[in-house]
Structure 1
Amino acid sequence: MAVKDRGGTHLETGAQVITGQLGKTIQRLRKAYNLSLSDLAEQSGVAKSIISQIERNETNPTLATVWRLSQALDMSVERVLASSDDAPFVEKLTRADTPILLSEDGLVRLSIIGWIKTVEWLQYYDLYAEPKGELDSDGHQRGSIECLTVLSGALEVEVGGVIETVREGETVRYRCDRRHVIRNRSDTQAHAFMVCLLKAAVLE
């Protein structure tokens, strides 16, 4: 039996992928989407135990398994397999290859434009918020800092009961190791650039 990649390539289910970097790549992609092992298992149809073994490089998955994981992570098989320490320094992502996150209400869209290899400590996003859109986020690890620069429109940021309005050309920095909410209360779309430092020093 064969599985077809979205690029048209047929992948034999018996073929195995042997690479020491695959597990790290899958783990980084999973964390970039804030998915647990259970979440990825549910979305891909690959057993949680198998995903865990792949991430720890304890097993060589079939190409079909990698295909299922890549589809769940919205990446092509070629791109997942190409992610290694030997990859060229110059890397280009097309619009189709750029992962997208949506808020629960579907009105805030974040394009993940940060480098996947830094996702555990540095994340950055291109953010578009439609009118009345709201991005409600749980806290990240202790000491994390988020920086939001508004490129057009205006956004409201709420952290720990403190509310700050950020307008075009302005930047706000705040602790994001607690619940934080970004809202667009205006009647026009807002565009912003957001950086999250996950291992910043804890503020006194």
Structure 2
Amino acid sequence: MEHEQIHKKIGKNLQNIRKARMLSLDQVAELTGVSKAMLGQIERGDSNPTISIIWKIVNGLHISFTSLIEEDRSTVTHIRFDDLEPLLAEQGYRSFPQIPFEQKKKFEIYSVQMEPGSTHASEAHHEGVEEYILMVRGKLRLSILNETYDLDGKDALRFTADQPHVYENVTDEACAYYTLIYYPA
């Protein structure tokens, strides 16, 4: 089976979500702050949207990040890490959609790898969204508002993610962790 390019999947899923909600491109533009022209390009697969644009869409429509990249799934899904494409890869930060969002489950899980000295700033998710960080190896610093949390080894952290937050690997070793994102009903 040939894998579809991720931006084409995003376009197809965005169009399906928009049509299922009986929304026009104008209405989605109003909800998300993304122009009608850009939304049209994304839906047609003519544009590879930036992470910032995707966040505007998911926050405006109150959907999960992976609902834009998920495929139809059977009752058993074997996800091979080596087959995954990073959803986000920027300057030493790579995030892989390990367990994609399903509407009836209300969560998604990412496998994240951070190189030494790398940083990733995340925009606020919509109200009530929670993140669970489960460390695999290395050390991670997470800043939420004015608080900083240092995680290492097999530590875990839960927080309400409706405010900006920053992930940092402040060490000289790579770190890896899982992020479970829970979306309330």
TM-score, length of structure 1 as denominator length: 0.57
Query: Could you tell me which amino acid in structure 1 is paired with residue 79 of structure 2?
Result: L
Distance in 1 between residues matched to 2:139 and 2:124, nearest whole Å: 23
Structure 2 match to 1:136:
121
Structure 1 match to 2:77:
91
Query: How many angstroms does 1:144 deviate by?
Result: 1.2
1:27 to 2:14 alignment: yes
How has the CA–CA distance of structure 1 residues 127 and 107 changed in structure 2, closer, same or farther, with 3 Å as cutoff? same
Instruction: Determine helix, strand or coil for the equivalent of 1:188.
Output: coil
Q: Is the 8 A contact 2:101 2:107 kept in 1?
A: no
Q: What are structure 2's unaligned runs of at least 5 residues? A: 4-8, 18-33, 48-67
Structure 2 match to 1:70:
none
Match of 1:115 among 100, 112, 119: 100
Instruction: Determine helix, strand or coil for the equivalent of 2:158.
Output: strand
Match of 1:159 among 144, 157, 179: 144
CA deviation map 1:35-76 (0-9, x unaligned): x68367258227xxxxxxxxxxxxxxxxxxxxxxxxxx8x8x
Structure 1 match to 2:62:
none
How has the CA–CA distance of structure 1 residues 144 and 187 changed in structure 2, closer, same or farther, with 3 Å as cutoff? same
Structure 2 match to 1:149:
134
What is the aligned length?
141
RMSD value, Cα:
3.7
Q: Is the 8 A contact 2:11 2:45 kept in 1?
A: no
Query: How many angstroms does 1:93 deviate by?
Result: 3.2
Which stretch shows the higher mean deviation, 155-164 or 90-99? 90-99
Query: How many angstroms does 1:123 deviate by?
Result: 1.7
Match of 2:175 among 151, 166, 190: 190
Structure 2 match to 1:44:
45
CA deviation map 1:57-116 (0-9, x unaligned): xxxxxxxxxxxxxxxx8x8xxxx8xx44xx531223344642412354x21111101234
How has the CA–CA distance of structure 1 residues 158 and 23 changed in structure 2, closer, same or farther, with 3 Å as cutoff? closer
Q: Is the 8 A contact 2:93 2:114 kept in 1?
A: yes
Instruction: Determine helix, strand or coil for the equivalent of 1:181.
Output: strand
Q: Is the 8 A contact 2:95 2:110 kept in 1?
A: yes
Q: Which has the larger radius of gyration?
A: 1
Structure 2 match to 1:170:
155
- After the TM superposition, which residues 64-83 of structure 1 pair with which residues of structure 2 at under 5 Å, given as runs? 83=71
TM-score, length of structure 2 as denominator length: 0.62
Query: Could you tell me which amino acid in structure 2 is paired with residue 138 of structure 1?
Result: E
Percent of aligned pairs sharing the same letter? 16
